[in-house]
């Protein structure tokens, strides 16, 4: 059985899930959940479980992992994302120390090299445990993986969601995402400046006209200041107040154009868009510090230079 460690928010969980789908290749896939930064819904379960998953995907959220094994897997996750080769080597030595007394190395693990695309995943067979963030377009773009991903839908709908979907089909809005709250504490990621949104919106409206801009953000009031004044009269906000993360991401798929943040959440909204011809404007670089994830953006997406800024002290 192929297993994959699920961690982070919904965007990261989907990248990990996609890599699991690729390696499992229609055979049994088991999701195991990390304690590190795992984002949960309002019922306390991981956000990815708010999507209807294929029948061959299994999980046991009630299973309690021993503390030592949990720490070990969190350490493997850190190794996969570490930029410093020296620190990565030291962490691997720590892993060896874990293995001998606790026998944790008996399982076959694949640790992704970096946050983005690692071509070694293409050589993997089944019956392996995948650990990493896997932020890239290559694996999700694989036809059999992409078909499964496009079938994803929230397990629960609502009147609000149904109404907004019908409205989006009529209006065909430009979807804009501004990520702020948690990025204010992440010095390595960097905050996108208003100049990025100004340049992206002007490019988007030069390409086609949009009746409305649907603005999604974790800080709606602050996010409005990132939109140029000439476009603010088109903005609709607070569309997702009654929606779960899975429902919000599903709604974002109905856009006719996208200006995404350096966020895996809006990345997935754009990548799984129903209108495959809708233009997507994405920031470059993706991270303020260290290497941006390898092959993060599909080649047809439009890169917009972003002078990322560190969060205020």
Classify residue 311: in a domain, yes or no.
no
Q: Evaluate whether 270 touches 176 at the Cβ level (below 8 Å).
A: no
Average pLDDT for 100-120: 74
Give residue 103's pLDDT band: very low, low, confident or very high (50, 70, 90). very low
Residue 101 banded pLDDT, cuts 50, 70, 90: very low
pLDDT band for position 97 (cuts 50, 70, 90) = low
In a domain, 170, yes or no: yes
Same domain, 223 and 134: no
User: Among 40, 33, 36, 32, which residue's Cα sits nearest to residue 10?
Assistant: 40
Same domain, 186 and 99: no
What confidence category does residue 301 fall into, taking pLDDT thresholds of 50, 70 and 90? very high
- Local confidence band at 273 (pLDDT 50, 70, 90 cut-offs): very high
pLDDT given at position 275: 97
SS3 content of the chain, % helix, strand, coil (to 5): 40, 15, 45
CA distance 252 to 173: 10
Average pLDDT over residues 51-76: 77
Asked if 65 and 24 sit in the same domain, the reply is yes
Q: Is the pLDDT of residue 95 over 60?
A: no
Cβ 200 vs Cβ 281: under 8 Å = yes
| DSSP bridge partners of 178 | 217
What was the pLDDT predicted at 311? 85
Domain containing 276 — which CATH number? Answer: 3.40.50.11350
Q: Is residue 74 very low, low, confident or very high in pLDDT (cuts 50, 70, 90)? A: confident
Q: Note whether 95 and 199 are same-domain residues.
A: no
Stretch 226-242: mean pLDDT: 96
Residues 183 and 55 in one domain: no
- The answer to whether position 312 is within a domain reads no
Question: In this structure, are 99 and 207 located in the same domain?
Answer: no
Domain span holding position 175? 159-305
Q: Which helix (H) or strand (E) holds 216?
A: strand 213-217
pLDDT tier for residue 98 given thresholds of 50, 70 and 90: low
134 and 209 together in one domain: no
- CB of 278 closer than 8 Å to CB of 256: yes
Q: Which one of 133, 150, 167 terminates a domain? A: 150
User: Is there a domain that residue 118 lies in?
Assistant: yes
Whole-angstrom Cα distance, residue 265 to residue 13?
Answer: 10
Asked if the structure places residue 10 within a domain, the reply is yes
In a domain, 249, yes or no: yes
At which of 128, 150, 172 does a domain end? Answer: 150
- Looking at the fold, whether 192 and 296 belong to one and the same domain comes out as yes
Q: What is the 3-state secondary structure (H, E, C) of 73-129?
A: HHHHHHHHHCCCHHHHHHHHHHHHHHHHHHCHHHCCEEECCCCCCCHHHHHCCCCCE
Mean per-residue pLDDT over the chain, rounded? 89
Task: Say whether both 75 and 197 belong to one domain.
Answer: no
What is each CA distance from 115 to 77, 147, 207, 296, in whole angstroms? Answer: 10, 24, 32, 9
- pLDDT band at residue 60 using 50, 70 and 90 as cut-offs: confident
**C-alpha span between 158 and 148 (Å, rounded):** 23
Last residue of a domain, one of 106, 124, 150: 150
Is 136 part of any domain? yes
Tell me the C-alpha distance between 283 and 303, whole Å: 6
- Do 177 and 235 fall into the same domain? yes
Domain count, the chain: 2
Same domain, 206 and 289: yes
10 and 131 co-located in one domain: yes
Q: Which of 24-33, 85-94, 176-185, 230-239 has the lowest mean pLDDT?
A: 85-94
pTM, entire model: 0.91
Q: How confident is the model at residue 61 (pLDDT cuts 50, 70, 90)?
A: low
Residue 2 has a pLDDT of: 94
* Residue 91 in this model has a pLDDT that exceeds 80: no
Tens digits of residue pLDDT in 25-45: 989 999 999 876 889 988 889
**Average pLDDT over every residue of 169-183:** 97
Band of residue 63 on the pLDDT scale cut at 50, 70, 90: low
- Which residues have C-beta within 8 Å of that of residue 69, sequence separation ≥ 6? 102, 104
How many CB atoms are closer than 10 A to CB 285? 18
**Would 269 be classed as within a structural domain?**
yes
Closest by CA position to 223, among listed 247, 194, 248: 194
């Amino acid at each position: 059985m192929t297993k994959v460690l699920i961690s982070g928010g919904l965007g990261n969980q989907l990248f990990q899930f996609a890599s699991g789908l690729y390696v499992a290749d229609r055979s049994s896939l088991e999701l195991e959940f990390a304690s590190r930064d795992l984002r949960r819904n309002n019922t306390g379960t991981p956000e990815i479980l708010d999507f209807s998953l294929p029948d061959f995907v299994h999980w046991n959220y009630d299973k309690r992992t021993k503390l030592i094994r949990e720490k070990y897997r969190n350490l493997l996750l850190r190794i996969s994302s570490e930029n410093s080769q020296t620190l990565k080597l030291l962490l691997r030595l720590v892993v060896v120390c874990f293995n001998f007394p606790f026998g944790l190395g008996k399982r076959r693990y694949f640790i992704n090299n970096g946050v983005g695309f690692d071509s070694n995943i293409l050589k993997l067979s089944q019956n392996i445990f995948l650990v990493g963030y896997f932020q890239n377009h290559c694996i999700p773009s694989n036809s059999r993986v992409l078909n499964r991903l496009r079938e994803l839908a929230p397990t629960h709908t609502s009147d609000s969601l149904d109404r907004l979907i019908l409205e989006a089909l009529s209006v065909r809005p430009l979807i804009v995402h501004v990520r702020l709250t948690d990025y204010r504490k992440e010095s390595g990621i960097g905050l996108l400046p208003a100049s990025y949104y100004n340049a992206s919106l002007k490019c988007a409206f030069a390409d086609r006209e949009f009746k409305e801009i649907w603005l999604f953000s974790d800080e709606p009031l602050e996010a409005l200041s990132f939109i140029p004044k000439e476009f603010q009269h088109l903005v609709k906000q607070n569309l997702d107040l009654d929606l779960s993360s899975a429902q919000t991401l599903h709604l974002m798929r109905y856009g006719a154009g996208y200006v995404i943040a350096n966020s895996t959440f809006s990345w997935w909204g754009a990548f799984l868009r129903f209108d495959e011809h809708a233009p997507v404007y994405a920031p470059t670089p993706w991270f303020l510090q260290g290497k941006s994830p390898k092959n993060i953006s599909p080649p047809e997406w439009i890169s917009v230079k972003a002078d990322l800024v560190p969060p205020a002290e």
